[in-house]
Chain A
């Protein structure tokens, strides 16, 4: 089972609320890329450690984050 966390980096405004919200400290602003608006978009550093709590998605004011769960088919 894996959490798929997708961040729409073009919509991201680099506000860091997701970074603050993540209980495991997995989200940070990119140090290497800028989006078209000039913001450093948020990235997840260690997807395997993500527990899918959605605290980041819930606080993102721009609806950048979508979370899905990938499971073995039964």
Chain B
């Protein structure tokens, strides 16, 4: 009898337990990134930059050099790293507060300059780590701790579509939005992450994958209900697809 591994643990993640809530999408995406870096043989020359957000501890999980960045500044930190090691693979991992609120200047300018870095952007329409406040990606009508009767479009606008916005910039080489709500979409997410890293290593410019994910704890839903809400409410507003590919 021989045993052939069909689905095993990637070397791209250290054997440490992750602190995320049950059913949180972070764990899924961390694994996909780690698998892609391992498969592309990039781990020995990779450096990741973790955000301020639930994924702040991402620096504990990836099997490569890691940096923790101040809130929103990961693209600037990644720029510094990549300019010193232009042949290395540099990625940022950011949430919606980090990237689309405080870090908007940094992400826009990294894309504008065509920085050869890859950003993995986790959009779960809420601020997780700080306890469920409104994010720039929170949907109109969605209730959070800082819009307790639901986001009011008149008061503070409608959510921002980051992938579409960044795709307008010349320096963006690969921009795609995916989701982790189904087996098929998880597979597509991995392919998108791979294409993004390939764009970086081919020096085509800036690459970003926006990944729709869940926050069961702050949405007040079970993990399964959260995936259902992603499908029913987030997908219609945030269409999946490739927005830029050079």
Contact = CB atoms under 8 A, between A and B. Distances in A.
Q: Do chains A and B touch in the complex (CB under 8 A)?
A: yes
Q: Main secondary structure on chain B at its contact with chain A?
A: mixed
Interface in B145-183: 180, 182-183
B9 A63 contact: yes
Contact of A70 (B1, B23, B186, B224): B1
A39 B17 CA distance: 15
Contacts of B5: 66-69
B9 A16 contact: no
B185 to A, nearest CB: 10
B interface, size bucket: 20 to 34
A interface, size bucket: 20 to 34
B1 A21 contact: no
Candidate in A63, A65, A69 with the most chain B CB atoms within 10 angstroms:
A63
A70 B3 contact: yes
A58 B183 contact: yes
A67 B26 contact: no
Nearest to A15: B23
A62 B187 contact: no
B6 interface: yes
B27 interface: yes
Interface of A: 3-4, 11, 13-17, 19-21, 39, 52-55, 57-63, 65-73
14 contacts: A19-B224, A20-B227, A53-B183, A54-B7, A58-B28, A61-B18, A62-B17, A66-B5, A66-B8, A68-B4, A69-B4, A69-B5, A71-B1, A71-B4
